[in-house]
Amino acid sequence: MHPKRTDKIATGIIYAVVATVVAILVFLIGYILYNGVPDITWHFLTSQAQSFSAGGGIRDQLFNSLYLLVLTLIISFPIAMGAGIYLAEYAKDNWITDVIRTSIEVLSSLPSVVVGLFGYLLLVNQLNMGFSILSGAIALTFFNLPLLTRNIEESLNSVPDLQKEAGISLGLSDWKTITKIIVPEGLPGILTGVILSSGRVFGEAAALIYTAGQSAPSVSYTNWNIFNANSFLNPMRPAETLAVHIWKVNTEAVTPDAHAISSGSSAVLIIVILIFNLGARFIGNHIYKKMTAAK
């Protein structure tokens, strides 16, 4: 067969595969939004969930998801940042580096149920942390670390060597060069990775069933005392997230409008994750253009 004809056939197959993937994604997202968006109202977003009567909302579940996301990033980002800087700037090709990279790969491939059961046995039972937001955040850190660490390492490695050499030629120490030149240059990619990993954390359910719990006790949104059991900021309270709520509604709910709650909650979850993903691209490109213009 003629090389040009072969090239056209291969290109056509690739385009067909890509079009199929895009079509499946559009169909899934469109189906969820089509069925769920009509059920999203202000009352639905700001009212408490109901166990038996109709008309409940997702106020607490939505807040729990956001709170758990913030807490997870507070725990995981400094660790990932340190690991990314070490791997990109200090690590040498030896067995220690191989162990670190292998550990990262193993963490990224762990099933969420396994992480959830591990968190349940260690955090909930052995450390007596109980079903809590903090237990869930620590468990989700296992998911967040591999993605964040790889992203930070790649972002730092993408900085041209000329930038590093310029810092050293100015008499800056290695640490000053990293913190003042390399990290700021890699910031767009780092920020994009943080936002993308946030979408993954926000939609996680399996690990949280065994760590954060399946209940959403009533809390006071005017109580800012983090040590008060009734405070919405208390990290030691059980917290059903939006993703767990969807699973629970579809498997255990007895409310008359369970289907509407499930559809609306799924649409909200998809919308938030889309915001995370599209926002990552927009913010990353905006910062990159701003930094390029400044030069």
Residue ranges per domain, the chain?
A: 40-294
User: Which of 163, 137, 155, 156 lies closest to 192 in space, CA to CA?
Assistant: 155
For 249-257, what is the mean pLDDT?
A: 82
Cα radius of gyration rounded to whole Å, the chain? 23
For 113-117, what is the mean pLDDT?
A: 88
Whether 210 contacts 190, CB under 8 Å: no
Looking at residue 37, the DSSP 8-state letter turns out to be G
CA distance 84 to 99: 14
User: Which of 91, 118, 92, 96 lies closest to 107 in space, CA to CA?
Assistant: 118
Taken as a whole, the chain contains a residue count of: 295
Confidence (pLDDT) at 288 = 67
pLDDT-derived band of residue 293, with 50, 70 and 90 as boundaries? low
Q: How far is CA 99 from CA 48, 102, 152, in A?
A: 47, 5, 18
Whether 138 contacts 75, CB under 8 Å: yes
CA distance 246 to 45: 14
Each residue of 93-110: pLDDT tens digit? Answer: 787 888 888 888 888 788
- Between 277 and 291, the higher pLDDT residue: 277
Q: Residue 51: what residue type?
A: S
CA distance 264 to 56: 11
What mean pLDDT value characterizes the chain?
85
Q: Residue 151: what residue type?
A: N
pLDDT-derived band of residue 282, with 50, 70 and 90 as boundaries? confident
Check pLDDT > 60 for residue 295: no
Q: Is 295 helix (H, G, I), strand (E, B) or coil?
A: coil
Whether 158 contacts 150, CB under 8 Å: no
Whether 60 contacts 248, CB under 8 Å: no
For 210-220, what is the mean pLDDT?
A: 85
Lowest-pLDDT range of 163-177, 178-192, 208-222, 267-281: 163-177
CA distance 220 to 237: 12
Confidence (pLDDT) at 16 = 93
Confidence (pLDDT) at 72 = 92
Confidence (pLDDT) at 193 = 83
Check pLDDT > 80 for residue 169: no
Whether 112 contacts 207, CB under 8 Å: yes
For 20-25, what is the mean pLDDT?
A: 93
Strand segments, DSSP code E, in 9-128 are none
CA distance 48 to 64: 12
Q: At CB < 8 A and 24+ separation, what contacts does 281-285 make? A: 281/192, 283/188, 283/191, 283/192, 283/195, 284/188, 284/189, 284/191, 284/192, 284/195, 285/188
What is the separation of C-alpha 95 from the centre of its chain, rounded to a whole number of angstroms?
Answer: 30
Question: What topology does CATH give the domain 40-294?
Answer: MetI-like fold (1.10.3720)
